[in-house]
Amino acid sequence: MNMKDLKTKLTSRKFLVAVAGIASGIVLIANGSTAEGVATVIASVIAYLAAEGYIDAKAVKATTDKIEEAVDEVEDTETVVQGFTD
């Protein structure tokens, strides 16, 4: 990951909301609401990971679709070439 990618990740709204959630949880813990604070921290981390996982899955799906299209084109080309050689 290069610096531009890192900057993009660190300034994303999802990341900033997760950081705010973690900070809120820490404040709750510091003020004596341990259970609520821990729940807030855990929920923030899980929500961030779920959102990133969803985005990653969509990116993988898009890449897989492009590869499948390329394979189909190659197979079609092979069929045409075989038709000329027969």
pTM of the model: 0.68
Specify if 2 maps to a domain: no
Specify if 5 maps to a domain: no
Contact 16, 50 (CB under 8 A): no
State pLDDT tens for residues 29-84: 999 999 999 999 999 999 999 999 999 999 999 999 999 999 888 887 766 666 66
For residues 22 and 4, give the distance between their C-alpha atoms in angstroms, rounded to a whole number. Answer: 24
pLDDT score of 76: 76
Range of the domain at 78: 11-85
Specify if 4 maps to a domain: no
Structurally, how many domains does the chain consist of? 1
Specify if 25 maps to a domain: yes
For residues 80 and 83, give the distance between their C-alpha atoms in angstroms, rounded to a whole number. Answer: 5
State pLDDT tens for residues 11-37: 888 899 999 999 999 999 999 999 999
For residues 75 and 81, give the distance between their C-alpha atoms in angstroms, rounded to a whole number. Answer: 10
Contact 25, 41 (CB under 8 A): yes
pLDDT score of 2: 83
Specify if 40 maps to a domain: yes
Specify if 3 maps to a domain: no
Type of residue found at 12: S
Specify if 65 maps to a domain: yes
pLDDT score of 72: 85
